[in-house]
Copies of this chain bind each other. A is one copy, B any other.
Amino acid sequence: MTAGGVIRVGFPGGSYEVVVGAGALGRASVELGRVVGGRQVFLLSSPTVRSLHAGEVRVALRAAKVVVDLEVPDGEAAKALDVAGRLWREMVAAGGKRDSVLVALGGGSVGDLGGFVAGAFLRGIPFVQMPTTVLAQVDASVGGKTGIDLPEGKNTVGLFHQPALVVADTGWLETLPAAERRAGLIESVKMAFCLDPSLFEGIEAHIGALLDGQPEVLSDVIAGSIAAKAAVVERDPFEADQRRVLNFGHTLAHALETALGYEGLRHGEAVGWGMRFALALAEETFGHVGDADRLRAVLDQFQLPPLAPLDPAQLLDLIGRDKKATEAGVAWVLPRELGRAEMVHVPASIVAAVLARFLTR
């Protein structure tokens, strides 16, 4: 596995660093000084995260000219257009300029919203990701995807806006509820299974310690996941091709979350169900999927909460609206074997049949 440290992520026209591991905030002081030095900083956070971590972050931002707080609700409620509108107005009123910097301190929602708000403020200002959850550290903070939700669907509005710096301090994860931490690790399982067999083997070998939150194992898996994601987004910054395998499990997951009103199921848990479904769809499509039992065995360890009763017709309708859909229909990420997945347009009739079996099981 990869040790914590600094991972550089390139994109067309630039690159940024991800400082990762226990104590990453302290180790990132030179990089932070370079990005925020002498500038107005907007520190975006939610009440829970602010009470836990804003103190040390303000110390780390001491090179800034001034730090202005921006507050949003905890959780997915932050990712709303009216929240973005309110933040933009507060930023103008506070004298925000093109060289102001936004720091997004929090979970995936704060990062997604913060990137969008920074990306569309005065046609784009620099922003720093400080992800405080496993989910945000391994997935949302790298790659430049930003977005907010509409009542009609998750991440329907958004843009690509690359961070200037990412600080993923795994020390912050100690304050995270265990169930939250575990749900986030499902994204690591996803990346490992599709992209990095040795990372997957590490997860298999240390699954107990990982689920218990043992700091060294957690830090290693998170650094390994970020490195795996960084490698793929570097090759495909705008999700034209290879990067799309990161959507493994997400087509059904987004539909589940929308159908449940984003309640009762964590994103990682929805992805876990989505991976199980994509696996079933892959077996139906290909006849056989290599290492399927190994993936199922790891997912079993996560003990996903049972799904509430759902209307298959509604789910199929939501799947059809997936933003990865094109005029040619919905393309599914289907695993072939450990380390290999493909984009496949699956006929709607087959999706419906597999979904019906899946929901009644």
Contacts and interface: CB of A to CB of B under 8 A. Distances in A.
Contacts of A361: none
Nearest to A152: B92
Interface in A146-161: 146-147, 150-153, 155-160
A202 interface: no
Contact of A92 (B92, B98, B156): B156
Contacts of A85: 81, 150
B327 A40 contact: yes
Given A13-B12, A81-B85, A98-B325, A123 B159 contact: yes
A120 B152 contact: no
For this chain, the copies found in one complex come to: 2
Contacts of A239: 123
A159 B115 CA distance: 13
10 contacts: A12-B12, A92-B150, A93-B152, A97-B323, A120-B157, A123-B158, A123-B159, A123-B323, A124-B160, A159-B159
A222 B151 CA distance: 43
Given A40-B327, A122-B158, A124-B160, 5 more contacts: A95-B321, A97-B323, A99-B327, A119-B159, A123-B155
A162 to B, nearest CB: 13
Contacts of A155: 123
A89 interface: yes
A340 interface: no
A327 B97 contact: yes
A88 interface: yes
A182 interface: no
A123 B147 contact: yes
A50 interface: no
A38 interface: yes
